[in-house]
Structures are given as structure tokens and as C-alpha cells.
Amino acid sequence: MSKAPLAAYPALRLRRLRQADWVRRMVRETALTPADLIWSMVVHDGEGQVPVPSMPGVSRFSIQDAVAAAKEARALGIPAIAIFPHIDGAKKDATGALAHDPDGLICRAVKAMKDAAPEVGIMCDVALDPFTDHGHDGLIENGKISNDATIERLVLQGLVQAQAGCDILAPSDMMDGRCGVLRSALEAEGLQDVMIMSYAAKFASAFYGPYRDAIGSGKLGTGGSPVDKKTYQMDAANHQEALREVAMDIAEGADMVMVKPGLPYLDIVRQVVDAFQVPTFAYQVSGEYAMLMAAAQNGWLDEERAILETLGSFKRAGASGVITYFAPRAARLLGA
């Protein structure tokens, strides 16, 4: 029996380059390394670690734990840590006054972490929500979030963080014009080396739920409804507006930009990377972490493979890196 004519074979056999691990590694187009990871971490004012129920494997860290974590990040090759405060409910007020306390939790954590591991970058959120009793990122005037009054507070907050030694200010509030005002305030105070990574394209998302549990800003009143941030965070249906947000923040002096959440917004990451020449990061948020861990704990997903596959997808989309609660775990899986 003669073989089928040549033309019957596939003209191309793309599987040839997949036949063994060595060749798959050889032709791999993107790679994830520990240098791509920014460790997202919640700190609290008490002792020890307090597990966050909706985020298995994640705990709020005491300042002492955060210091140990900074040394761990250095050993693992993780370049930076993003810290977020859990504030005792009794200390919150309508204006989030504690946000700009130079002796507050975040400033003390920054100093301690930079003292212990100066080689690790520290990034701080600039927004009022951990400190306000209503859970909004800004000040409320006549029932609305007031853009310009909020910015005045954000500048005070950003300056105390920068003076404490924070390397990167990350405004996550979505007020218009905050990057420019922050940038000029830093210049005026002689803090011109402090970087700004703006939460430029931040969407009003259901995926922040577990984070709001973690920092204790989840609901309006006990058992109340989730805080609705749609008058300042972006509509999930929009992509052109995301490019306008990014353009605006770059023009105002942001050094780096971020897309948040991550996985449901990979298209936005790719569009931003293609449109601008600026380091672009994605935030794999609390709900993405919770979703993956819940499935893994049910035995429905292979946890380690799913962690590395999702983190790797951000690199494929063109991101410079990922802010993630998986950072230390992923760095270890990557052999750090």
C-alpha cells in the first residue's frame, strides 16, 4: 500500500515545536520571574497574624511580621511590597483623618520595613477608604464624593507616607487630577525621587469583596450593603475611557500605571501596553485570589499550575509585573 499523496498531510505541523519540554522552553515567548511580582500585604496594629477568612492563606500582618516579610521578599527576589492598613473601626471617622497621621500604622510599617530591608521597594495606597467610617475613598459633601476636597486630603496622606520613606505612592482613589497635585507636592517638598504608580484604569468591580473584609471597610454599617464606588471607579464595560484615564495620569506625572482588577481586564492591559510607552502593571485583586483558592480547595483546580498560569497570562498581555497576594508563593514555585 502506498502512502497518501503528500498534499493530504498538514502543510504545517505546529505540534513539532511542542513535542518535548526542552523545545517548548526553547521557543517560549514570555516568562514569569520573581522580579515580576509585587507582594500585596495587609498590615494591622495588633500582635501576630490574623487570617482573612475569605482569602485562605492570607493573613493581616503585625508590623513585626511585615518586617520579616520584607526580608523574605529580599531573599526571594521580589522587588517590592504594596502595603494596605487594617484600621480599628473605632478609630475611623467621616473624613478619614488618620490617613495623614505621620505616626499612623502605615508610616510606622514603612519605616520599620525600610530599616530592615532597604533593598525592597515599598508602595503605599493613597486613598481614604481604610480610614473612613463610610468606607468611601473620598470625602462626602452634600451626599456626593467631593473630588477636589478629597485631593487635598490625599496630598497630606501621600506626603506623610513619602516622608516616612515610601518609595512608590499608588493613588487608588480615582479622583480626577490627583496625580498632578501629588507630583507637584512631592517636588515642592524635595521628594522628587518618590515614584507614582497610579491606579489609572481602576474599575468598579465585584472582585474587591474579600479585600474590603481584609481591611475592614466592607459594608455600610454592620450587615449593610457593599459600598458602591461607581461615581468614581470606571464602568466595567469601557475600554476607550481606560486609555483616556491612563493618558491623563501620565500627563500629570505618573511614572507607572496600573490596570485593576487583572484577569477580567487583560484586554485593557494589552491596549494600554500597545498605546503607551510606560511601565504597566496589573493587580490580581482579592476576589481573583479567593476564586482560585476556593476552586483549588475543592479539588477543582490544580492550585500551583493555576497560580502560575494566571500570573503568566499578565506577562503575555504585556504587563511589566503583577501586584498579587500570591507573590511569595509564586516566587517559591518559580524556584527562588
**Contact region with ligand PBG (CB under 6 A), list: 205-213, 249-257, 295-303, 304-312:** 205-213
What whole-number distance in Å separates Cα of residue 334 and Cα of residue 336?
6
**Contact region with ligand PBG (CB under 6 A), list: 72-80, 187-195, 207-215, 243-251:** 207-215
* Distance from chain centroid for Cα 64: 22
Q: Which helix (H) or strand (E) holds 86?
A: strand 80-86
Q: Is 260 a catalytic residue?
A: yes
Residues 6 or more apart whose Cβ sits within 8 Å of residue 264: 205, 207, 236
Q: Which of 114, 229, 260, 315 is catalytic?
A: 260
Please select the residue that binds ligand PBG; options are 203, 208, 265, 281, rule is CB under 6 A. 208
Please select the residue that binds ligand PBG; options are 36, 72, 129, 252, rule is CB under 6 A. 129
Q: Tell me: does residue 211 bind ligand PBG (CB under 6 A).
A: yes
Q: Which three cell numbers stand for residue 46?
A: 495588633
Counting residues that bind ligand PBG (by CB under 6 A) gives 12
Q: Is 202 a catalytic residue?
A: yes
152 marked as part of a ligand binding site? no
Q: Find the binding residues for ligand PBG in span 298-327 (CB under 6 A).
A: none
> Residue 140's beta-bridge partner residues?
145
What whole-number distance in Å separates Cα of residue 90 and Cα of residue 88?
5
Q: Which helix (H) or strand (E) holds 112?
A: helix 105-116
Helix spans in 125-239 (H): 147-164, 178-188, 209-215
Please select the residue that binds ligand PBG; options are 127, 175, 256, 293, rule is CB under 6 A. 127
Q: Tell me: does residue 213 bind ligand PBG (CB under 6 A).
A: no
* Feature table: binding site: 245
Which amino acids are annotated as binding site for Mg(2+), given as ranges?
245
Which residues of the shown chain bind ligand PBG in the complex (CB under 6 A)? 125, 127, 129, 137, 172-173, 208, 211-212, 229, 285-286
